Amino acid sequence: MISDCPRVRFAPSPTGYLHVGGLRTALYNYLFAKRNNGKFILRIEDTDRARFVEGAVENLISTLKWCGLDYDEGPAKGGEYGPYVQSERLAIYKEKCEELIAQKKAYYCFCTPERLTELRERQQKTTNQSKYDKHCLNLSKEEIADNLAKGLPYVVRLNVEPDVIIAFDDIVRGHVEFNSNTVDDQVLLKSDGYPTYHLANVIDDHMMKITHVIRGEEWLSSTPKHVLLYDFFGWEKPVFAHLPLLLNPDKSKLSKRQGDVAVEDYRTKGFLKEALLNFVALLGWNAGDDKEYFSLQEMVESFSLERVNKSGAVFNVEKLTWLNFEHLRNLPDAEVLQALRDALADSEFKDGVYTDEYLLHVITAMKERVSFIKEYIEKSPYFFKAPESFDADVIKKRWREDTPKHLAKLVENFSALVNPVKEDYEQALHKTAEELEIGNGKLIHTIRLSVSGMGVGPGLYDLLVILGKDEVISRINKAVQTIKIQ
């Protein structure tokens, strides 16, 4: 049963870019919160100082904002249960660690790195599992006090009792059990005074009143340690839901070695946030039917954790591209217009002057032919500049010795038109073909080549109307002068 106001969190580490797997975790948390009138919290887990990347927090927040995943509590926004950055909560972790030590649920460990390495190497020769051997658990109070007084480096470890079944229920995985003999005496507090993920995660989730922990499958094996900590503290456990792995097409775990994994990479390539969110939502979840196109609001209305799959989800860029086409096609023209202007400002056509009316005609003509905003420019540069070269294959296939004569006659008939619309161009072309006693195709293909430099594109008469009579005639004349057949 879902509580009246569930609280979920996205808790990334600021180690660089936002991974698409992280985006999916954030999205599922967001959808669950919004679907159930709950709260979506952002918490920054920056306790691994060796991996901390300057500017990563700002980048994470910026990326979430771009995606439209607005959090209710977190850095820069604040909230009732802050601070929301773990490095600002160190005193809390230390205090809670001391409570565990006092209850003998945790203990000081003064083992040197050399001893731990030797222990690990010895165990690996005899068993597949490497675990701490509880060497420091039996230190006397006097030994501990003496070591602390000497300033010896130490960590604090979780005291895991042997032969205990650690069980919990997972919305995605069902009932899960671990034998405590497979669980290591996890380090809770590191020698630098910072907590490990396991300690800070549990304390923060409890203190921030998190009701549901929705995270990637890679954390499933850590969950028994978290369950023990909840039990040791005497706290109520949240509901767990571990999401399936993201896979490359060869079923290996998604990694940068086989392609882009950063949200920023896909944004830079021109993928729309609407398409990216739609795509990552389908990586492990479905609405119970064949529907694949979703707006963010439709996802909110349809989402449930019970429909998240156990098996890994393959990251298929072709499907993402198809979704981008669908979302771009359905964007309001005003949004496409602004995006096209932004793209033009970064292109070789940045100095061109184009009215909104003209660009909206271009958008209408090309809408069914582009998957990205940039393709309005890449696939139809002739809307922004007369062609300076012509497709050699089309010339070879379509351009004949009598083509210049045919086009001259067409130009004559086009010149007689006054403020022509599509039908006027079509009638003029048919009239020219009849006068020359040739098929329409001999004119259609060569005029397209003349005005665009290409053999494919939007409807010919749409193209002619958008360019305008004077520009069309100018381009035809230039093509006749430029194109020479061998």
User: Active-site residues: which are they?
Assistant: 256
Residue of 91, 88, 21, 96 whose CA lies nearest to 57: 88
Q: What angle do CA 236, 239, 242 make, to 5 degrees?
A: 140
- DSSP-derived 3-state class of residue 17: coil
Residue of 328, 329, 333 whose CA lies nearest to 270: 328
The Cα 72–Cα 208 span in angstroms is 13
Task: Assign 3-class secondary structure to 212-279.
Answer: EEEEEHHHHHHHHHHHHHHHHHCCCCCEEEEECCEECCCCCECCHHHCCCEHHHHHHCCCCHHHHHHH
Cα 181 to chain center, whole Å?
Answer: 38
Residue of 391, 117, 377 whose CA lies nearest to 270: 377
Residue of 49, 50, 48, 44 whose CA lies nearest to 18: 44
Beta-bridge partners for 152: none
DSSP codes joined into one string, 290-354: S-----HHHHHHH--GGGB-SS-EE--HHHHHHHHHHHHHHS-HHHHHHHHHHHHHTSTTTT---
- DSSP-derived 3-state class of residue 28: helix
The Cα 414–Cα 319 span in angstroms is 44
| 484 burial via Cβ count (<10 Å: 0-12, 13-18, 19+) | exposed
The Cα 47–Cα 94 span in angstroms is 13
Residue of 476, 454, 439, 471 whose CA lies nearest to 395: 454
* 8 A C-beta contact, residue 68 and residue 23: no
Contacts of 23 (CB under 8 A, 6+ apart): 63, 67, 263, 276, 277, 280
Residue type, 297: Q
